[in-house]
């Protein structure tokens, strides 16, 4: 048996480039085999001394380590191999510095913007992207905000020259930000005019229903005197080729989301949904999936279990509800790099580690409708793979040393590692 050569990932060849010179990697050439690693497949399965072989950007073989001919072999003894993690809801690439208005492109004016596309504003040159992918997040669903119906999200891969290269799943769904159905505390109400926020919210929701009814009618007719871009944009919701993402938190809001999805026969994914643990039966019955936002959060109500946000994932898992995790909007760009640790917390509060991993890999892919291409280390899928020296869900052990997007080994450097090097040099730190 002949092994072509042993490949060391000392990063030296890649790390010397400055941020501005860092470039996306070229397409995979030849076949690569990652051997002797602990393969975390993403579906709960673990192969202790495992091997992952990929070629032409696709995974061709996953099994216990065996000898292979004519492949680049990378010995990962003692290291862990994971599917690339997926940030299911983020404004990464739509903003650089959230406090500086000029750098933000994620919040459009107007109330009904279903035809707005996040993809066209996605900036592949954002300095933030490299800090996220170097923690093992390789794909991201880029989500617009603003107004009530904010537009279309798209999944991108995080190693691209431009947004067209980056596009992984285009315009996958429409985002509806449901108005809050919680009244103001008394302390606020005394200050000003008495406002029934619940009624206001429900009125607004009714305008959304009306919008969809009109869109449905419009789309039943193929010829129109005048094109209505807004109605056209939501066409895919009615045949479930697009996902209906509803951003909401509280029980009543969730119930309304379920009702709306049922009324229009939409494929519903809840985003946020921090109180979803109260209505797991209904979610289960209606096959609703959930993207939990930032489990590292305080409970919604003062008397809630103090660890409620940490254990909501376990409640969903136990109820058999498909869920993933993302970061809160607003800080949802740079903070995505903490995704594995948020999953880790869920593993400390009721999930197994493999379940926690599935949540941010295979389950995320399922929810975003890309599980045929990615989300797990299985034959036929894209070689979106991350290697860590230790448990990737724990900051104590997570050290991402190698990552592939579609079989391309990506540069794990970023602006921050470069500044680190610069100042290590200044102070003579080894």
Enumerate binding residues for other proteins (CB under 8 A): 96-100, 127-128, 131, 182-189, 250-252, 296-298, 300-303, 305-307, 331, 333-334, 337-338, 341, 344-345, 347-349, 393-399, 416-417, 419-420, 423-424, 427, 429
CB of 80 to other proteins, least distance (A): 14
Q: How many residues does the chain have?
A: 430
Nearest Cα residue to 338 out of 307, 360, 306: 360
CB of 346 to other proteins, least distance (A): 10
CB 178 within 8 A of CB 246: yes
CB 55 within 8 A of CB 81: no
177 or 341, CB closer to other proteins?
A: 341
219 or 308, CB closer to other proteins?
A: 308
Q: d(Cα 320, Cα 283) in Å, to the nearest integer?
A: 9
| Cα 411-417-422 angle, rounded to 5 deg | 125
H/E stretch holding 75 reads strand 72-75
CB of 325 to other proteins, least distance (A): 13
Q: d(Cα 312, Cα 309) in Å, to the nearest integer?
A: 5
Which ranges constitute the DSSP H helices of 226-351? 229-233, 235-238, 251-264, 280-285, 308-319, 339-348
- Owner of token pair 């975003």: 368
CB 393 within 8 A of CB 340: yes
215 or 276, CB closer to other proteins?
A: 276
115 or 417, CB closer to other proteins?
A: 417
Nearest Cα residue to 395 out of 325, 324, 327, 342: 342
33 or 129, CB closer to other proteins?
A: 129
CB of 132 to other proteins, least distance (A): 11
167 or 255, CB closer to other proteins?
A: 255
143 or 215, CB closer to other proteins?
A: 143
75 or 184, CB closer to other proteins?
A: 184
Q: d(Cα 394, Cα 399) in Å, to the nearest integer?
A: 9
Coil, helix or strand for 420? helix
49 or 251, CB closer to other proteins?
A: 251
Starting at the edge strand that comes first in sequence, how are the strands of the sheet with 167-177 ordered? Answer: 85-90, 137-142, 149-157, 167-177, 243-248, 267-272, 289-293, 323-326
CB of 356 to other proteins, least distance (A): 10
2 or 396, CB closer to other proteins?
A: 396
Burial grade of 274 (CB within 10 A; 0-12, 13-18, 19 or more)? buried
Q: d(Cα 388, Cα 385) in Å, to the nearest integer?
A: 10
Helix axes 308-319, 339-348, angle to 10 degrees: 80
The CB density around residue 401, as the number of other CB atoms within 10 Å, is 15
CB of 419 to other proteins, least distance (A): 5
Burial grade of 24 (CB within 10 A; 0-12, 13-18, 19 or more)? middle
CB of 328 to other proteins, least distance (A): 11
Q: d(Cα 359, Cα 408) in Å, to the nearest integer?
A: 24
CB of 211 to other proteins, least distance (A): 26
In 76-124, the DSSP E strands lie at: 80-83, 85-90
CB of 139 to other proteins, least distance (A): 20
CB of 197 to other proteins, least distance (A): 10
CB of 324 to other proteins, least distance (A): 18
Coil, helix or strand for 337? helix
152 or 326, CB closer to other proteins?
A: 326
Q: d(Cα 346, Cα 360) in Å, to the nearest integer?
A: 11
């Amino acid at each position: 048996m002949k092994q072509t050569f042993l490949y060391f990932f000392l990063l030296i060849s890649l790390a010397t480039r400055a941020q501005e010179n860092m470039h996306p990697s070229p397409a995979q050439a030849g076949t690569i085999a990652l051997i002797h690693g602990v393969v975390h497949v993403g579906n709960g399965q673990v192969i202790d001394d495992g091997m992952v072989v990929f070629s032409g950007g696709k995974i061709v073989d996953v099994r216990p380590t065996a000898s292979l001919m004519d492949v680049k072999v990378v010995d990962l003894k003692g290291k862990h191999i994971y599917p690339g993690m997926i940030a299911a809801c983020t404004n990464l690439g739509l903003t650089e510095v959230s406090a500086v208005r000029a750098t933000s492109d994620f919040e459009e004016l107007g109330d009904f913007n279903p035809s707005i596309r996040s993809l066209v504003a996605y900036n592949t040159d954002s300095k933030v992207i490299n800090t996220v992918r170097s923690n093992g997040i390789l794909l991201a669903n880029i989500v617009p905000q603003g107004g009530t119906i904010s537009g279309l999200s798209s999944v991108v891969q995080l190693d691209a020259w431009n947004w067209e290269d980056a596009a992984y799943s285009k315009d996958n769904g429409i985002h509806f930000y449901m108005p809050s159905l919680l009244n103001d505390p008394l302390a606020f109400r005394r200050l000003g005019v008495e406002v029934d926020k619940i009624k206001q919210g429900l009125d607004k929701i009714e305008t959304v229903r009306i919008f969809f009814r009109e869109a449905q009618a419009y789309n039943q007719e193929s010829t129109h005197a005048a094109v209505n871009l807004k109605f056209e944009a939501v066409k895919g919701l009615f045949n479930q080729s697009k996902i209906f993402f509803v951003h909401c938190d509280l029980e009543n809001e969730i119930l309304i989301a379920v009702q709306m999805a049922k009324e229009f026969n939409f494929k519903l994914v809840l985003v946020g949904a921090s109180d979803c643990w109260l209505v797991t039966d209904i979610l289960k019955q209606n096959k609703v999936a959930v993207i939990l936002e930032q489990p590292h959060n305080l409970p919604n109500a003062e008397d809630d279990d103090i660890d409620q946000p940490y254990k909501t994932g376990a409640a969903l898992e136990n109820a058999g509800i498909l869920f993933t995790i993302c970061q809160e909007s607003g800080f949802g760009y740079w903070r995505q790099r903490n995704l594995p640790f948020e999953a880790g917390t869920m593993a400390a509060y009721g999930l197994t580690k493999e379940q926690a991993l599935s949540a941010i890999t295979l389950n995320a892919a399922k929810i975003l409708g890309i599980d045929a291409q990615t989300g797990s280390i299985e034959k036929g899928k894209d070689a979106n793979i991350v290697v860590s020296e230790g448990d990737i869900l724990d900051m104590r052990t997570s050290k991402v040393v190698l990552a592939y997007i579609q079989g391309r080994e990506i540069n794990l450097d970023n602006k921050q590692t470069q500044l680190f090097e610069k100042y290590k040099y200044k102070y003579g730190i080894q």
